Amino acid sequence: MASPSINYDEAPLPFSVTLENGDTVQCRQRVRVIPHRRAVCAGTVTSANKSSDNNQVFIKLYIDDSRSRVHWQREHDGLQLLAEKEIVTPEVLYSGATKDGKAHAIVSRAVTPSSEFLDLWQSAVDNNSREKLLGTLVSAVAQLHRSGLVQHDIHLRNFLVSGEAIYTLDGSDIISHQSMTKSQALSNLGLLAAQFEPQYDDLFVSLFRQYVAEGCAAVSESDRDEFICQRDQQRDRRKAKYLQKIFRQSTAFSAQQSFTARTIISKRYDSPELTALLNDPDKFIAASEKILKQGNSSTVALIKVGDRNMVIKRYNIKSPWHAVSRALRPTRAAVSWRNAHMLSFYGIPTAAPVAMLEQRMGPLRGKAYFVCEYQPGITARDFFAQEGSTETGPVLSAMQQIVGLLQRFRIAHGDMKATNFLVRNGRVWLIDLDGMRQISSPGTFHRAHQADIMRLLQNWEPGSRQYKLFHGMRETV
């Protein structure tokens, strides 16, 4: 049994939580943790009167000494609003303090079987299943809005799917409006739509009529363009916030800086082997299985980190003058790190970023390293040099989609040659991101995109299928 002074976010599993009413929750798995603030655990509850034992539950523990009651109260009130408006949500079995008085808790009956909406969306295999799933979500949000409720920080993990039912989770961000306005509804719906990759924008827009029929009465079909504008604005805000987050300590990233170095790691890759790599990257490059590129400006090597194949790119300092010119500018490793995450945000395939390292002397930057997952495949140049491939159509379509998204979001690659597209099993990834930039000026982007397309066209004969396709994209900028 756990002691009364247990740290609920750190205690070894399993552990017990005794509630103020005498019930006991046996916590068997941590589902989510915000250190020293909140912990969500899966487990079973045993009633004090033994009337119902071993019910599968989730317990959300609020453990911040100074703010736990405030956060618990917000969640408690939001869940009450959902219940009052008959919104489908997991049944609350207990809401109150723990017996030791060191935390507040909300215990909800587990919905079984069930899956988070995001997991189902990511595993959907075709647009028919995506449309059905998205239609269910739009109906759930429409019901919230029709009831005068807004989930202020709406996101895809706040919805649980069980059979044909969709459950709304997280009452802490539920806000009630006596009279929902059009702008409130469209802003919230736009935020929801902005959670999805841009390639699904048309699918979401096609369901706008369904929302109008089921949701806020103030919204009509003539508001579709305003909804699209809200979606784009919300996506821009989310992108800006995310691209700041990737450079600091957070639940997803570990960031450390000293006088001599700056290191950022994606936590899902964190391991003793990755730490060893970042402590002495040149040693790993020297022992590399394969040098992919050896040049004055950079060295690229295929390396083994634990049981994973990774690629490390070292950005070299070519001369004392080059060192001076680079010392106060963002390193090319930091640019690649940012651009890889930006592409992922927009749903543009690229090698997954793992870590970045800058050698420093105080604020002065020196050599820098960018680490990403190894993406096997052949270059688009080599792929199209093959004869009779049955994947030519899908590969061209995938490349066209990538170039189209770059064009839509005004992203210039800077070196868009065919060798910077990797092809495998009909899929395509864009690599070599240190020259990439997002451009706000339409005129400046037009010139940069024209240069990108012209660089790509140099790889093929004017009469070829791929030349005609991308030359056409040049004309539509």
pLDDT in tens, 421-434: 999 999 999 999 99
Q: Is 332 left (phi over 0), alpha (psi -120 to 50) or beta?
A: alpha
Residue 323 confidence (pLDDT): 63
> Are the CB atoms for 20 and 29 separated by under 8 Å?
no
The H or E element that residue 159 is part of is: strand 159-162
pLDDT-derived band of residue 476, with 50, 70 and 90 as boundaries?
Answer: low
Integer Cα distance of 157 and 94 in angstroms:
22
Task: Tell me which residue of 329, 354, 343, 350 sits closest to 264, measured CA to CA.
Answer: 354
Strand pairing class (308-315; 290-294)? unpaired
Overall pTM > 0.95: no
Residue 2 confidence (pLDDT): 44
> Which amino acid makes up residue 381?
R
> Are the CB atoms for 205 and 190 separated by under 8 Å?
no
Share of the chain above pLDDT 70, in %: 96
Residue 26 confidence (pLDDT): 96
Residue 474 confidence (pLDDT): 67
Kindly tell me if the per-residue pLDDT of 391 is higher than 80.
yes
pLDDT-derived band of residue 469, with 50, 70 and 90 as boundaries?
Answer: confident
Integer Cα distance of 135 and 133 in angstroms:
5
Residue 324 confidence (pLDDT): 63
Task: Tell me which residue of 415, 428, 250 sits closest to 339, measured CA to CA.
Answer: 415
> Are the CB atoms for 297 and 415 separated by under 8 Å?
no
Integer Cα distance of 102 and 219 in angstroms:
46
Alpha-carbon torsion, ordered 194, 435, 267, 170, to 10 deg = -10
- Paired tokens of 404: 């189209």
Residue 51 confidence (pLDDT): 59
Residue 475 confidence (pLDDT): 57
Residues of the chain with CATH 1.10.510.10: 115-242, 378-475
pLDDT-derived band of residue 53, with 50, 70 and 90 as boundaries?
Answer: low
> Are the CB atoms for 211 and 193 separated by under 8 Å?
no
**Look-up of token digits 């990257």:** 281
Return the CATH number of the domain spanning residue range 378-475: 1.10.510.10
Kindly tell me if the per-residue pLDDT of 3 is higher than 60.
no
Class of domain 253-373: alpha beta
Integer Cα distance of 415 and 431 in angstroms:
10
Mean pLDDT to the nearest integer, 344-355: 98
In CATH terms, 115-242 corresponds, of 1.20.140.10, 3.40.50.1370, 3.30.70.260, 1.10.510.10, to 1.10.510.10
Alpha-carbon torsion, ordered 141, 245, 343, 282, to 10 deg = -150
SS3 of 304, please?
strand
Q: Which fold has domain 15-109?
A: Phosphorylase Kinase; domain 1 (3.30.200)
Alpha-carbon torsion, ordered 351, 357, 359, 364, to 10 deg = 90
Mean pLDDT to the nearest integer, 131-157: 97
Lowest mean pLDDT across 77-91, 242-256, 462-476: 462-476
Residues of the chain with CATH 3.30.200: 15-109, 253-373
Residue 1 confidence (pLDDT): 42
